[in-house]
Amino acid sequence: MEKIILNVKTRLETGTFAARKLRAQGIAPAVIYSKNETPVHVSVDQREFIKFLHKHGETAIISLKTEGEKKDAAVIIKEVQYDTIKSRIIHIDFQRIKLDEKIRVHVPIITKGDADAPGVKEGGNLEHILREVEVEGLPTNIPKEIVVDVSNMKIGDAIHIKELVFTGDIVILNDPEQVAVLVKFESEEKAEETIAEEVSTAEPEVIKKGKAEEGEAAAKK
């Protein structure tokens, strides 16, 4: 896991009004959590943090440099809350960690060779069943991402969790038999949709037929 520096500032004002005031200034409120310690309220520039995420992702070890503090804090990003309507960050949670203690985090799954896969060239559809996996290990051993080579996948092929290849001494906590990526023939999906539509359309006809038969029986009586 990569280690990088992120600059933050201590914030003395807390609460909803103070947080809104910060966001209006392009600043994201944040909190640093740690075991058996009082949470520390900080803030970070929104643009700088977005650049940080684009470059390093959400799984990097962060050396958090707080203005006025002599010692940096080793943290990971626990949660980022977004306002999708206004396209800004609402709040960030940092979790203080120890480099010699194992942690559990989610690592994204990235595919490569999508266009080269025989199954895709034959009209198949590459489906990402899982976008990330939960892993456990020392912070310095956790990779930024797990790359899956799908360039040789044919229609009907699937890659399971147990088949993922990764660097670092980590353990994936997901079910080993769970499918991460598969190539499915597109016409199969259309066929399933067609069958589902036919069934839903046929059901009312059966009901009408039943009522008609009941009516005929009543007429005979």
Which pLDDT tens digit goes with each residue over 5-60?
999 999 988 899 999 999 999 999 999 999 888 999 999 999 999 999 999 888 88
Residue 54, φ and ψ in degrees, nearest 5: -65, -35
On the question of a common fold for 3-96 and 103-187, the answer reads no
What pLDDT was estimated at residue 87?
A: 80
Q: How confident is the model at residue 140 (pLDDT cuts 50, 70, 90)?
A: confident
Q: Which CATH number fits domain 103-187: 3.90.230.10, 3.30.70.270, 2.170.120.20, 3.40.50.720?
A: 2.170.120.20
Cα–Cα dist 118/158, whole Å: 13
pTM attached to this predicted model: 0.71
In this structure, the strands spanning 3-10 and 61-66 are: parallel
Average pLDDT over residues 77-84: 91
Domain 3-96 adopts which CATH fold?
Ribosomal Protein L25; Chain P (2.40.240)
The domain segmentation of the chain, as residue ranges, is 3-96, 103-187
